[in-house]
Structure 1
């Protein structure tokens, strides 16, 4: 398997600190870890440029909790590396938004919004979070219109509120909202039973997101849209029994450690933000090229891509295995099954059986 000389994109989580305590947060497991200093982050960013990384995503925790956030962002403005920021927007005011607008390397800001009103949003994020986010969005859209996107994690709390979220987003002149599945890690693992959609609710969301997309055009994005489209396409082109012995798909859906990687606030490199606890090496101990090109942990993780669906016990006799590439390894990883295991969120067989059961 040919490996890129450097990842195309790196997510740099600059802090674990957050002013909210969200039930679906995935990074709570590292809240107390020692974070890199300002100078360590500046050196790391310099090394990312030398490593010829194309793009950078700044996230947290909540990145605006870090006192030196503008030291880091201003440093980036003088480098050839373009970047995005993920934020809950609750700490954004007019001054911050105006300052961000002057950064010529900032491509976009992705804001977390999990409800169209306080009753829904605050149930996940805490009292007062909705109004603070709306205030932040007003400040951002005043100076950065065209650069703002919305990220919504779909749970039992908000899955019937998605169209209202789209209406709210459009009212701000924002051009993108991503509807994404819940991942059971961090706080979300603790609240899994409370937040996770049933199969019936998941089928509803696939159909609901399609209807919202048809109504709002290019506004809607995210895995609930793309997965629904893929499953419906498979419905239209069913596999015949005589094709069931076709070669099983290779496990290459995941781009973690292939085209992207994440660096946590404590310097640990992980494949992606969905595999927050799968450590591949620490930038305090090894250079980025050593971790990416030579590290034993990353080579072991990449060996997953040499496997096929036949190597997953519960999938080897599946009728649909020739179309399947194993889905995301994060769900089985966080449920104790390892990274060569079935991802129920991406499983067409489960989708098909659920569709027939609830038709």
Structure 2
């Protein structure tokens, strides 16, 4: 399960009433806690690569926020970073959140998973451990994230999670320096019985720096890769199309979801790092109230993507467009990429 909201597909007649109630009442059902911006990798694509500040909340401050979110109705939390396992108090924060009744997911690069973490997750099972993958060899790991030894460590961690019956799934981040490993890595991970997801839509730094986009795949390579992947793992295109309502790409940010950065500020999501609202100092409910106002200004906006016939395969939300361009439109190369991918998927019968 990638997220709790991922289960709440508004196309599903059984869960539609639940979705409607959660959204209409603005219940903050799911949150993401960026426990730290520190990381032991230096990935070429990372949207945090030039803002690795060390300022972060204390254990007590995070547990205070956990108290507030559970009182407000939150049921699901993602722990992410940076690399969340770099925090010495990760296990204490995790156990506190678990004992408050929260469903938990950990997003990690997998290189720091220890015997202690395995024992913790066996005793207090997470919904899942999501591991980002960057290649199928030490050499690729060295080229893409700067840590050659991490490859063997990460693969060993995945095996340990499987052996101990801890839910694990992977996301391969495909860029110029590692995309040729995709097929072999997919075969290996799938052979282990572990779900494999592909991510190739790289994003700028959250301060507007466009350097991560330099790692983006050229149009032909990315289109071919996605065509291959969608043939392996079919997409529910009707569900994707349903994300667009009145030419606006919908999401749950500010309606049922929120993101808290390492300094304790609430934002809509990493694509919309401003405005931000203090949670620990100002209170969760006050920040949550202001987040809706931010959503109306930043997300509920009609864009060029919303009027495009290719939007199902490449359409971006308004905040994503704003991060990439000061003109309020998606970059031309992104549109060309989407058009080419759409054509290829139609030719192959993957998309009607």
Q: Structure 1 pair 199/254, CA: closer, same or farther in 2 (3 Å)?
A: farther
For 1:251-290, what aligned pairs fall within 5 Å after superposition? Answer: 251-275=248-272, 277-290=273-286
* One of 17, 32, 38 as aligned partner of 2:53: 32
Q: Structure 1 pair 303/4, CA: closer, same or farther in 2 (3 Å)?
A: farther
Shift, 1:29, TM fit: 4.6
Shift, 1:69, TM fit: 0.8
TM-score (norm 1): 0.77
For 1:319 and 1:12, the matched residues in 2 are separated by 34
TM-score (norm 2): 0.78
Are 1:155 and 1:182, in contact at CA under 8 Å, matched by a contact in 2?
no
SS at match of 2:223: helix
Are 2:42 and 2:145, in contact at CA under 8 Å, matched by a contact in 1?
yes
Q: Which residue of 2 aligns with 1:220?
A: none
Q: Which residue of 2 aligns with 1:9?
A: 30
Compare CA radii of gyration and give the structure with the larger one. Answer: 1
- Over the aligned positions, Cα root-mean-square deviation in angstroms equals 3.4
SS at match of 2:32: strand
For 2:252 and 2:201, the matched residues in 1 are separated by 19
Q: Which residue of 1 aligns with 2:6?
A: none
Query: Is the aligned partner of 1:299 residue 2:259?
Result: no
For 1:357 and 1:252, the matched residues in 2 are separated by 23
Q: Which residue of 2 aligns with 1:218?
A: none
For 1:19 and 1:53, the matched residues in 2 are separated by 30
Query: Is the aligned partner of 1:331 residue 2:326?
Result: no
Larger displacement relative to structure 2 (132-141 or 44-53): 132-141
Query: Is the aligned partner of 1:100 residue 2:94?
Result: no
Query: What CA deviation, in whole Å up to 9, does each residue of 1:121-146 have, x standing for no partner?
Result: 3321122221221122222222134x
* One of 109, 113, 138 as aligned partner of 1:118: 138
Query: What CA deviation, in whole Å up to 9, does each residue of 1:259-287 have, x standing for no partner?
Result: 31110110111112343x32331113322
Are 1:12 and 1:59, in contact at CA under 8 Å, matched by a contact in 2?
yes
Q: Which residue of 2 aligns with 1:131?
A: 152
Query: What CA deviation, in whole Å up to 9, does each residue of 1:198-231 have, x standing for no partner?
Result: 22222212211123337xxxxxxxxxx5679969
Are 2:137 and 2:151, in contact at CA under 8 Å, matched by a contact in 1?
yes
For 1:1-359, what aligned pairs fall within 5 Å after superposition? Answer: 4-104=25-125, 106-126=126-146, 127-145=148-166, 147-174=167-194, 176-186=195-205, 189-193=210-214, 195-213=215-233, 225=235, 249-275=246-272, 277-293=273-289, 295=290, 298-309=292-303, 312=304, 320=309, 327-337=316-326, 341-342=329-330, 351-352=338-339
Q: Structure 1 pair 192/307, CA: closer, same or farther in 2 (3 Å)?
A: closer
Q: Structure 1 pair 287/131, CA: closer, same or farther in 2 (3 Å)?
A: same
Query: What CA deviation, in whole Å up to 9, does each residue of 1:11-39 have, x standing for no partner?
Result: 01111111111112222354215211110
